[in-house]
Amino acid sequence: NSIWVSTDHDEIEKVAKQFGAQVHRRSPEVSQDSSTSLEAIREFLNHHHEVDIVGNIQATSPCLHPSDLIKVADLIQKEGFDSVFSVVRRHQFRWSEVKKGENKMTEPQNLNPAKRYRRQDWPGELYENGSFYFAKRHLIEKGYLQGGKMAYYEMRAEHSVDIDIDIDWPIAEQRVLSFGYFGKDPLKEVKLLVCSIDGCLTNGRIYVTEDQKEMVSYDYRDIVGIDLLKKRGIQVRLISERDCSKTLSAIQLGCTAKVSATNKLQVLEEWQKDMGLSWKEVAYLGNEESDVECLKKAGMSGVPADACAVAQKAAGYICKSSGGCGAVREFAEHIFLLLEKVNSARKQ
């Protein structure tokens, strides 16, 4: 019935409200490093007596799908369970731990080594994956997230992603690209990439010689990225607020470009309409405040690592590479990964 973000952080509150969530400001007592989710939820309930059921959705599980949450809500509201939590099936053989200095052998925990079977022939075991915990109010008030009439909800392995430590992050990124939820509207094939020249294709620096000639630098990897996009049938167009015609002539990319563009969104809308494309078929790579509206409109949007803060907030993908240092190539590879998802969905 309502979606809340529990936080004590001003910036998180601002972003949560931008995306339509309501915000519960946590007290310092439940905002410590050692504070638990249960403590924060109990404090929330003390301020919201109208809430009967809480679905605690963990931000560290980015592949969670709405369909899972709907089914879990039905288990509580229609089938009478007091608590439901997420699990995933694992096929891992467990052995007892032998601590250093102990004079004993390890023992099998869930297998017989004498009759060892292939893991893929074994039904496996269910493990909590931490994606969500749903519980009725009376349980939480007693200090439980699990209890009463309990049920587990088994999630698909590809949707079971849990970020605990730094090395989990790149794995989660790839899982999200392949299995993440991208809204109610299906992804479409990208037909057009529009790239801001200064700060994306170049690093934004302008070198001036003694005879007042301007020079810029670019990364050859980005040129390769543009060529790969073209080979995939994706048209690449360039845009800039300043007149950089000589720069484009020197690079010889063979792309349609609009320079001295005082209104980038207007140019983008004209291109989109002329090509008969939906916004879902347009990708945009920008880095400045002047790119924000374009980033919001495009179906796929990205910024280099050194883009300004407002552009980063508006983008769907933040490159690890900086402008003029491989960001275009990286964003091209991001597009290819998402297109693989589109093709996979069509085959299914």
Answer whether 282's CB lies under 8 Å from 272's CB: yes
CB-based contacts of 331, cutoff 8 Å, min separation 6 = 193, 225, 283, 285, 302, 317, 319
Alpha-carbon span 171 to 192, nearest angstrom: 28
The answer to whether 116 is a known catalytic residue is: yes
| Ramachandran category for residue 130: left, alpha or beta (phi over 0 → left; psi -120 to 50 → alpha) | left
SS3 340: helix
- DSSP label of 165: S
Alpha-carbon span 71 to 177, nearest angstrom: 24
User: Residue 122: exposed, middle, or buried by beta-carbon count in 10 A (0-12, 13-18, 19+)?
Assistant: middle
Q: Would you state the structure tokens that stand for residue 96, as one six-digit string?
A: 């007892």
Answer whether 275's CB lies under 8 Å from 235's CB: yes
25, 116, 119, 242: the catalytic one is 116
Residues labelled as active-site residues: 116
